[in-house]
Protein backbone atom coordinates (compact mmCIF):
# COMPACT_ATOMS: atom_id res chain seq x y z
CA UNK A 1 0.00 0.00 0.00
CA UNK A 2 1.55 3.31 -1.03
CA UNK A 3 1.21 6.69 0.68
CA UNK A 4 -1.62 7.82 -1.62
CA UNK A 5 -3.82 4.91 -0.51
CA UNK A 6 -2.99 5.54 3.14
CA UNK A 7 -3.89 9.21 2.72
CA UNK A 8 -7.21 8.33 1.11
CA UNK A 9 -8.03 5.93 3.95
CA UNK A 10 -7.18 8.54 6.61
CA UNK A 11 -9.24 11.17 4.76
CA UNK A 12 -12.19 8.78 4.50
CA UNK A 13 -12.00 8.02 8.24
CA UNK A 14 -11.95 11.73 9.10
CA UNK A 15 -14.92 12.43 6.83
CA UNK A 16 -16.86 9.53 8.35
CA UNK A 17 -16.26 10.96 11.85
CA UNK A 18 -17.56 14.40 10.83
CA UNK A 19 -20.58 12.97 9.00
CA UNK A 20 -21.45 10.68 11.92
CA UNK A 21 -21.47 13.66 14.29
CA UNK A 22 -23.62 15.67 11.87
CA UNK A 23 -25.98 12.70 11.54
CA UNK A 24 -26.28 12.39 15.33
CA UNK A 25 -27.17 16.09 15.66
CA UNK A 26 -29.78 15.86 12.89
CA UNK A 27 -31.24 12.73 14.50
CA UNK A 28 -31.38 14.45 17.92
CA UNK A 29 -33.18 17.46 16.44
CA UNK A 30 -35.73 15.17 14.84
CA UNK A 31 -36.37 12.92 17.85
CA UNK A 32 -35.56 14.88 21.03
CA UNK A 33 -37.87 17.52 22.52
CA UNK A 34 -37.38 21.17 21.59
CA UNK A 35 -38.38 24.04 23.89
CA UNK A 36 -38.09 27.83 23.99
CA UNK A 37 -36.20 29.07 27.06
CA UNK A 38 -35.67 32.62 28.28
CA UNK A 39 -31.99 33.63 28.32
CA UNK A 40 -29.74 35.97 30.25
CA UNK A 41 -26.35 37.27 29.16
CA UNK A 42 -23.21 36.29 31.03
CA UNK A 43 -19.56 37.08 30.49
CA UNK A 44 -17.73 33.91 29.56
CA UNK A 45 -14.08 33.13 30.04
CA UNK A 46 -13.57 31.13 26.86
CA UNK A 47 -10.32 30.78 24.94
CA UNK A 48 -12.14 30.89 21.59
CA UNK A 49 -12.69 34.13 19.79
CA UNK A 50 -15.33 34.99 17.28
CA UNK A 51 -18.90 36.12 17.01
CA UNK A 52 -20.91 34.27 19.59
CA UNK A 53 -23.42 34.95 22.32
CA UNK A 54 -22.87 33.31 25.67
CA UNK A 55 -26.27 32.73 27.18
CA UNK A 56 -27.49 31.52 30.55
CA UNK A 57 -30.79 29.66 30.29
CA UNK A 58 -33.39 30.94 32.73
CA UNK A 59 -36.62 28.92 32.31
CA UNK A 60 -39.85 29.55 34.19
CA UNK A 61 -40.10 27.39 37.32
CA UNK A 62 -42.42 24.51 36.66
CA UNK A 63 -41.95 24.83 32.90
CA UNK A 64 -41.13 21.88 30.68
CA UNK A 65 -37.65 20.45 31.25
CA UNK A 66 -36.91 23.01 34.00
CA UNK A 67 -34.47 20.66 35.72
CA UNK A 68 -32.54 20.08 32.47
CA UNK A 69 -32.34 23.75 31.40
CA UNK A 70 -32.12 25.76 34.63
CA UNK A 71 -28.82 27.70 34.85
CA UNK A 72 -27.33 25.87 31.88
CA UNK A 73 -24.86 27.86 29.80
CA UNK A 74 -24.96 27.63 26.02
CA UNK A 75 -22.96 29.32 23.28
CA UNK A 76 -24.76 30.49 20.14
CA UNK A 77 -22.47 31.29 17.22
CA UNK A 78 -23.50 34.32 15.19
CA UNK A 79 -23.15 35.09 11.48
CA UNK A 80 -20.35 37.38 10.37
CA UNK A 81 -22.59 40.42 9.86
CA UNK A 82 -24.33 41.94 12.90
CA UNK A 83 -28.05 41.29 13.24
CA UNK A 84 -30.55 44.08 13.97
CA UNK A 85 -31.29 42.93 17.52
CA UNK A 86 -27.62 43.11 18.60
CA UNK A 87 -27.57 46.92 18.83
CA UNK A 88 -30.63 46.89 21.13
CA UNK A 89 -29.36 44.16 23.48
CA UNK A 90 -27.68 46.50 25.96
CA UNK A 91 -30.49 49.06 26.34
CA UNK A 92 -32.80 49.02 29.33
CA UNK A 93 -35.85 48.51 27.11
CA UNK A 94 -34.24 45.62 25.21
CA UNK A 95 -36.66 42.84 24.30
CA UNK A 96 -36.42 39.47 25.99
CA UNK A 97 -34.11 37.12 24.14
CA UNK A 98 -35.22 33.48 23.99
CA UNK A 99 -33.42 30.42 22.64
CA UNK A 100 -34.96 27.32 21.15
CA UNK A 101 -32.96 24.37 22.43
CA UNK A 102 -32.91 20.64 21.86
CA UNK A 103 -33.01 18.58 25.06
CA UNK A 104 -30.87 15.48 24.37
CA UNK A 105 -31.08 12.36 26.54
CA UNK A 106 -27.61 13.08 27.92
CA UNK A 107 -25.60 16.26 28.04
CA UNK A 108 -26.43 19.95 28.01
CA UNK A 109 -29.12 21.58 25.87
CA UNK A 110 -28.11 22.48 22.32
CA UNK A 111 -29.22 25.86 20.94
CA UNK A 112 -31.02 25.86 17.59
CA UNK A 113 -32.16 29.45 17.04
CA UNK A 114 -32.88 32.69 18.83
CA UNK A 115 -36.14 34.58 19.16
CA UNK A 116 -37.49 37.81 20.64
CA UNK A 117 -40.63 37.88 22.74
CA UNK A 118 -43.22 40.33 21.38
CA UNK A 119 -46.70 40.54 22.86
CA UNK A 120 -46.42 37.17 24.65
CA UNK A 121 -45.36 35.48 21.40
CA UNK A 122 -41.82 34.39 20.53
CA UNK A 123 -40.79 35.51 17.05
CA UNK A 124 -37.69 33.77 15.63
CA UNK A 125 -34.94 36.13 14.48
CA UNK A 126 -34.53 35.73 10.73
CA UNK A 127 -31.10 34.91 9.38
CA UNK A 128 -29.79 33.18 12.52
Domain boundaries, the chain: 1-31, 33-124
pLDDT, residue 9, reads 96
Per-residue pLDDT tens for 99-121?
A: 999 999 888 999 999 998 888 89
Q: Does the pLDDT of residue 122 top 80, yes or no? A: yes
Per-residue pLDDT tens for 61-71?
A: 988 899 999 98
> Which residues have CB under 8 Å from 57's CB, separation 6+?
37, 38, 39, 69, 70, 71, 72, 73, 74, 99, 101, 109
pLDDT, residue 85, reads 67
Please tell me the pTM assigned to this model.
0.77
Three-state secondary-structure class, residue 61: coil
**pLDDT category of residue 86 using cuts at 50, 70 and 90:** low
Amino acid sequence: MNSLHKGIIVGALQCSLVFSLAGKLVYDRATCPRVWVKTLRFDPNLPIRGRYLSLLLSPDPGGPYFDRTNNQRVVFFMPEHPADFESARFRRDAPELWAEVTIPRKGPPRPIRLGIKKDSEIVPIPGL
